[in-house]
Structure 1
Amino acid sequence: MSETTTRGGLRSGLFAWLVAGWTLANVADSLLGVLLAVWVVDLTGDAALGGLLFAVFGIPALFAPLLGRLADRVSRRRMLWVTYIVGAAALAPLVMVRDASQVWWIFAATILYGAVGYGTAGCRGGILRDLLDDDDLGPANAILQTIDQVLRLALPFVAAGVYIWTGPLPVVLAAIGTFLAAAVVFASLRFAEAPVEDDADPFWVSVTAGFRHLRVTRPLNRMTVVLVMLSSTAAFTSAVGFAVLERMGVEPAWMGPIEALSGIGGLIAGVTAAAAMRRFGRPRALTIGTVLLALGVAPMLADSVWLLAAGLAVVGFGVTTSVIAYVTESHVATPSRLQGRVGTSVNMLMQLPAVVITAAGAAALGLVDARWIVACGLAMCAVAAVVAWRTHAAQARPAGEPGMAAPDVGGRG
């Protein structure tokens, strides 16, 4: 594609090209999201190890601010396609895994694969800001989240079927191929990126600028607290997912298809989120999503697979609505020079507590009933709902740069 000096709209070829690359990359995520944990459980016979894999996935969060600073100092388009090549290389050793003695390879690949998400998070917001006007960011995020949900709905069934029929190798190869295809698409994308601004701050002040922006920017600061609590709720439930299915007499391989039902609710949310944000505002949309998440998690306390499936559909709607509302607020409220650091800071704040909670939940399975762990997640979600309810849209941003409650988020005095 030839380089352009003007912003495109939602109907532009530039945005369509971005959507194509995003779709290819998320094919890999949807294929592997649950399958790696299922693979670990099948190789070892240990449901707790399957839950632990979800915790390991968050370890790269420790380095997320460094990736965010890199994204704010280089071409984000170039960083994006390089990151997807790294993701493909990280998955390549999995084609040689054959037995339980090699499970550590899956854990190692998961750590590197997890880093891909932080690298792309540092690039996505800035690229969208470069391509689109602020009014288009909400619909654009809704479109991208809808794609996520469609893939989450369809591909786990495909991955589970292939896994049961032939084993994991074809799924791993497909994920590698789609990562490489996404890299080709983004390498071909040409547009005028925002110029990299000089950063005179000391290194660690610069690295942590995203956290300071989140702290001083209203209502993004309270919305961030809510999102972290929602991530913690998801961590409680992920840690015991296999144990819940075991209690219900369901095979671990069905985790993917059952969780894919959340894609139904997520698909509906993706279609309706832009209208909800226009009608209620982004903070209120986040509140609605939080309440629905709590309602959807509650069936995990029961023993019915059908209630669990219905609840997961509600979870999908609630989580997707919340994420779209938050991500849109984050993109609108953050200047281009901080998009990378803010994006990775958010992911770090979400993932690090989730790592600890998931690991603790998996360890606690041998000591307490899974229902108690689910109840802890519900309590966290209830607190998040209260915080979200009190986050009023009237907490308008001060005049000046959108979203900037203070001019010195970079640390200069």
Structure 2
Amino acid sequence: MNVLRSAAVLAAVAVIGAAAPAAADSSPSPSPALPSALYGDGDPRYDGVWRQSLALLAQHTAGVEPPKAAVDWLTGQQCADGSFAPYRADPATACDAKTMVDTNQTAAAVQALAALGGHDDVTDKAVDWLKSAQNKDGGWGYTAGGASDTNSTSVVIGALSASGENPAEVKKDGRSPYDALLKLALPCEGDGAGAFAFQPDKKGELVANADATAAGVLGSLGKGLVTGPGKARNADAGCEKADGPAQAAANGAAHLTDALAEDAHLTSALPGAEDQPDYGNTADAVVALAAQGATEQAGKSLAWLEENAADWAAQSGPAAYAQLVFAAHAAGADPRDFGGTDLVKQLTATGPSASGGTVEATAKAKDDKDEPDSGFGVWWFVGVCLVAGIGIGILISGRRKRQQP
């Protein structure tokens, strides 16, 4: 979904790595046998809570009650301070300074558990931790203390809204999350007019990023990962000076509309893959456009996904299926008949059965059982960049594991 060039990718890695806490260390290695309550069969060390949260949220959105064991696994991953790490192999062991907690996993868990209901004790603690991690500019980075970025700020906004908070009233030094997003929105003049940047680059300049733009639209609207169609708006209105989050969202949607106009999908900007479609970020763009009310382009891009995204989701795992469910829901389509694929059935097959046993997966088995289920955009990539930046392993291998922010 991105329009950044490879140089911008390297710059983002450098910025994120520099922001990582010096004392951070890796999460515990997973046990050889993955928990039966976990969705997906890939290594969960870097995305376990994220993909579990998206899977549960997607099932709930489609009217399916997730298995209790899967919900209990998610709540059991919470640290005593309210935060969530990507994966804790032994939840009985207390979190410490080496536990790699982050805002994205925590915010995703809040959105899922708030939607399911009955977990106020968990979500209240998580929201308190998120508030404690807010930066002075009003935004959030991937980790507490990291520089604010559009994607992290937006997923936290979604968590705040889901938990009943008014994001505009959650302030640090008088600045709200919307103030942070406005600083990351590009002006209407020059390249990338109206888009959002992930973060300022090394020179302090804002570079348009389609994935961050999709996230920024949702965040500026105060929406989370799940949203329905917004009130229809004129997608041809063009870019106007953003005097508030509503106009920033409209500008971002206009940018996405232009980016999708020719082929209905976004393409990868990875070196050597200029013509390769980016399914996950296209799905994110559909959600953002639908929420903004740009229903015509959202519908066209959803139709492209219905025709082309089934194999990608089967290879990528539960978070990918969830993204497509969110896109279908946002655009008013039926996720049970998604180009002939029942996304809900396929997603459910990646997780535990209601009786607690394991459901035989209908999705393709991964060739490498050690790679994490990806299927989602910048949040996982930001985590990978952080990990790479603090020297705890080379994690980027394969297209989705190299997904840029």
Superposition TM-score tier, normalisation by shorter sequence? under 0.3
Q: Which has the larger radius of gyration?
A: 1
Greater share of helix: 1
* Greater relative CO (CA pairs within 8 A, separation 6+): 1
TM-score by length of 2: 0.26
